[in-house]
Structure 1
């Protein structure tokens, strides 16, 4: 019985860790897209400003 409770706790911890890693990966990928977009906007504004 104690082994099952331990397994359930480990499973919940692993699922939370996987969810956290997926969330960090999603934020990081969108951060790269956002960074490229901001860089493009800055580059475009510099070209049009001159």
Structure 2
């Protein structure tokens, strides 16, 4: 069964914002910022940025 999300939400701490991340070949790639994991627009932007890399 395929996964629904390819990115994981990493919550921020203190004054740092949270962001989306992807683990690939043992490395963590950070793919953008957003307000929360329910922020669909920031998720779509992060996925598009990941595909472009």
- Normalising to structure 2: TM-score of the pair? 0.28
Greater share of strand: 2
Greater share of helix: 1
